[in-house]
DNA sequence: TCATTAAGCGATTAAATGCTCAGTCGCTTC
DNA sequence: GAAGCGACTGAGCATTTAATCGCTTAATGA
């Protein structure tokens, strides 16, 4: 699917039906009459509007319990920024819960007047964040990827986050057109020797703001699922105390980066800890608690967007 | 963890229920179990969250037909800005339809870096706009009322718009603490002689951006309903060709301001036509078509937020 | 050209939602 | 202290919405 649906009337109708349903508050029966279609079709249009992410819902009310958790996180880890969304209950997708809040945080930076270099990681959480963003004009900023966009399987899924944001805000964007992990040191050197790539890497290294997801290093670690490391390598890393990973860089419970099989060939730019510029993590879920705690404790991240239960779990261990 | 369990407030629960329903997509049954209340109570909390305006829904899709209308309005009247929302169908409240779009327009200005003086009118449409706004920090701007806040019946409803916006954006705000229409020329002179009031009037006069509603001059004109003019005066104005009113200043079909019984005692500041700064009207509804058309044609307004059917009607008369 | 597959549509049915109506609890007032 | 008032609650019911199924239609590819 292209970013702009080629069939205008299709998703146009869906948007209109969604509008009538969610904003106007009509019943699907009324919508059907309004648009001159069958009731079932109206229902399908409405649910399609929701499925395609045309409908954005935000809640305009700071829930007291979440505010307290934000405060507690900030105090405990000395954060610049903490956002806690209400949880979605067990079993639900945590990304859904934090996406709107994360989008709002990013929009805060995008709304700033002075040009910023905004570096972005990848992953489901960031993808959710982008989908929840509103379109806005922010051409003064630069968007740069912290991570290569050529996956081991050749997929371009890593491309998505930065391209989609750029599309929504019309800002200049710099994906990093090299393998996430080069297969040899020679290949790595060949890519990084290219001036345009060197420039992107340089831009990412001096970003003014960073948004990244946080990966866990359990037995179903994303690094394994995406084919960046083998199961044996994962086991070795676990044995060495790996608890989390940010933009492909693995760290242990103290937040110290570990050498990994691919780290000398990782095209991405690591986040240096304890810097002044905001480095915001977007992550939630029980499996990520240890990873997030370590990243916050070591100052790899100095801001976090998460959900209620994750926040509680992060704070639980004293 | 030192989070003392404060009793979750009423609207806290409502917000949480609304979140679970609209964002998480749980059924009310699941919400009830989650919160440990009866299903009926969950349903009441959800509808309360909606009623209290805690839930903001926006649609992230420019509907083709609306874009065309925006273009047509801009071309026809040489507007800086035109926004057209999908209609809500006959009988529905037009304010509901345009409020989110109007809020987004205002937020565009609020997101700007350089300090702006933003002047605001009153009325239901602006009130809806404010309710649909998200909270944001924009302390660099100044919010000023274009119109006095003391109504003939002493109500403070005119106070609302500017106070509520200021509350949401934390910006300095300047209501105009004098009668909308003073009862005598002496009273008018006494008020305008006061330095603080003169300063507010001056600020409003040199606003960088203006947002106003548009009033119609039919037999149920808001000026009559709010007690600013008598029925006899309304009839006289109608006979003289009055079609609309902006911030209490009445104009005819050519957009020329008319002398009214109160115009020499009107504490508000009229909008001078054909100025460079944005003057955005927020209005929709069949009864307002003539009023909007005249205001746009004469350049009293150079921007409009309206709905589909109103836009069509405005453009219909060639 | 025809078989195969995918997509869309309406009808049916199960689930979820909103509404009304008594009953209850707490509060005020006499 | 009892009656009155009002807001809230839960149950049942009517409406609305979502899921399923069989059918038709369009698209794909040998």
Q: How far: B40 CA to D13 C1' (Å)?
A: 14
Closest CA to B100 of B61, B65, B57, B137: B57
Give the mean pLDDT of B301-311. Answer: 95
**Cα separations in angstroms, A244 against A69, A138, A147, A250:** 22, 33, 16, 6
Nearest CB to B24 within list A18, A88, A112: A88
pLDDT at A159: 55
pLDDT bucket at B232, cuts 50 / 70 / 90: very high
pLDDT at A90: 67
pLDDT bucket at A9, cuts 50 / 70 / 90: low
CB contacts of B96 in chain A (<8 Å) are 23-25
Any chain A CB within 8 A of the CB of B56? Answer: yes
Q: Do the Cβ atoms of B58 and A61 come within 8 Å? A: no
User: Cα(B171)–Cα(B142) distance, rounded to whole angstroms?
Assistant: 6
Chain D nucleotides covered by protein, CB below 7 Å: 9-12, 15-20
Chain C nucleotides covered by protein, CB below 7 Å: 9-12, 15-20
Sheet holding B215-216, edge to edge: B215-216, B242-246, B249-252
Q: Specify whether the backbone of A91 is left (phi greater than 0), alpha (psi in -120 to 50) or beta.
A: left
- Which residue on chain B is closest to A9 by alpha carbon? B64
* pLDDT tens digits, one per residue of A174-218: 988 888 888 889 999 999 999 999 999 999 999 999 999 999 999
Residues 22-51 of A with CB under 7 A from strand C: 37-38, 40-41, 44
Give the mean pLDDT of B209-221. Answer: 95
pLDDT bucket at A272, cuts 50 / 70 / 90: very high
Q: Do the Cβ atoms of A88 and B8 come within 8 Å? A: no
First to last CA, chain B: 69
A73-77, B88-92, B141-145: least confidently modelled range:
B88-92
- Which residue on chain A is closest to B12 by alpha carbon? A63
Asked if residue A295 has pLDDT above 60, the reply is yes
Give the mean pLDDT of A120-147. Answer: 91
Collapse the DSSP code of A205 into the 3-class scheme (helix H, G, I; strand E, B; otherwise coil) and give the result: helix
Most confident stretch, A99-108, A149-158, B2-11 = A99-108
pLDDT bucket at A62, cuts 50 / 70 / 90: confident
Q: Which nucleotide is nearest to A44 (CA to C1')?
A: D18
* Statement: the CB of B38 is under 7 Å from strand C: no
Alpha-carbon distance B194 to nearest alpha carbon in chain A (angstroms):
37
Look at B244 and B317; give whichever has higher pLDDT. B244
Give the mean pLDDT of A140-155. Answer: 83
Q: Which nucleotide is nearest to B38 (CA to C1')?
A: D10
Residue A265 φ then ψ, to 5°: -115, 10
Bridge partners (DSSP) listed for residue A85: A307
pLDDT at A5: 36
Is the separation of the CB atoms in A227 and A298 below 8 Å? no
* Statement: the CB of B46 is under 7 Å from strand C: yes
Most confident stretch, A64-73, A74-83, A123-132 = A74-83
Alpha-carbon distance A85 to nearest alpha carbon in chain B (angstroms):
9
User: Cα(B136)–Cα(B187) distance, rounded to whole angstroms?
Assistant: 38
Mean pLDDT for chain B overall: 88
Q: Do the Cβ atoms of A86 and B61 come within 8 Å? A: no
Q: Whats the size of chain B, residue-wise?
A: 318
Asked if residue B159 has pLDDT above 60, the reply is no
Q: Do the Cβ atoms of A54 and B57 come within 8 Å? A: no
User: Cα(A83)–Cα(A67) distance, rounded to whole angstroms?
Assistant: 8
Alpha-carbon distance B65 to nearest alpha carbon in chain A (angstroms):
9
Any chain A CB within 8 A of the CB of B25? Answer: yes
Asked if residue A6 has pLDDT above 50, the reply is no
Asked if residue A128 has pLDDT above 60, the reply is yes
Q: Do the Cβ atoms of B92 and A24 come within 8 Å? A: yes
A304-308, B90-94, B244-248, B273-277: least confidently modelled range:
B90-94
Alpha-carbon distance A86 to nearest alpha carbon in chain B (angstroms):
7
pLDDT at B6: 41
* pLDDT tens digits, one per residue of A223-244: 898 888 899 999 999 999 999 9
Residue B50: Cβ-neighbour burial (10 angstroms; 0-12, 13-18, 19+): middle
Any chain A CB within 8 A of the CB of B90? Answer: no
- Spell out residues with C-beta < 7 A from strand D: A 21, 27-29, 39-40, 43, 46-47; B 37-38, 40-41, 44
Q: What domains lie within chain A, and their CATH numbers?
A: 8-51 (1.10.10.10), 64-316 (3.40.50.1360)
A3-12, A22-31, B20-29, B75-84: least confidently modelled range:
A3-12
Any chain B CB within 8 A of the CB of A24? Answer: yes
* pLDDT tens digits, one per residue of B132-158: 898 888 999 999 999 988 877 766 665
Q: Which residue is nearest to nucleotide D10 (CA to C1')?
A: B40
């Amino acid at each position: 699917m292209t970013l702009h649906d080629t069939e205008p009337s299709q998703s146009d109708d869906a948007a209109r039906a969604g509008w009538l349903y969610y904003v106007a508050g009509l019943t699907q029966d009324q919508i059907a009459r309004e648009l001159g279609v069958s009731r079932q079709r109206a229902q399908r249009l409405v649910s399609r509007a929701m499925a395609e992410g045309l409908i954005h819902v935000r809640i305009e009310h700071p829930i007291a319990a979440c505010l307290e958790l934000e405060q507690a996180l900030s105090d405990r880890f000395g954060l610049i920024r903490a956002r806690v969304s209400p949880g979605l209950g067990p079993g639900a997708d945590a990304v859904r819960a934090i996406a709107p809040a994360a989008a709002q945080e990013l929009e805060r930076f995008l709304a700033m007047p002075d040009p910023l270099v905004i570096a972005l990681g990848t992953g489901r959480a960031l993808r959710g964040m982008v989908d929840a963003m509103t379109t806005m004009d922010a051409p003064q900023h630069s968007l740069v990827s912290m991570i290569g966009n050529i996956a081991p399987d050749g997929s371009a899924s890593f491309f998505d986050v930065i391209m989609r944001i750029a599309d929504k805000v019309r800002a200049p964007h710099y994906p990093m057109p090299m393998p996430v992990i080069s297969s040899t040191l020679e290949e790595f050197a060949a890519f990084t020797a290219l001036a345009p790539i060197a420039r992107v890497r340089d831009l990412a290294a001096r970003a003014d703001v960073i948004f990244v997801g946080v990966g866990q290093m359990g037995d179903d670690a994303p690094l394994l699922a995406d084919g960046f490391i083998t199961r044996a390598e994962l086991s070795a890393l676990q044995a060495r105390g790996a608890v989390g990973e940010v933009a492909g860089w693995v760290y242990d419970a103290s937040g110290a980066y570990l050498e990994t099989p691919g780290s000398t060939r990782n095209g991405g730019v690591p986040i240096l800890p304890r810097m002044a510029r905001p480095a915001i993590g977007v992550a939630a879920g029980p499996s990520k608690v240890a990873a997030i705690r370590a990243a916050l404790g070591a100052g790899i991240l100095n801001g976090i967007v998460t959900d209620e239960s994750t926040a509680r779990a992060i704070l639980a261990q004293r």
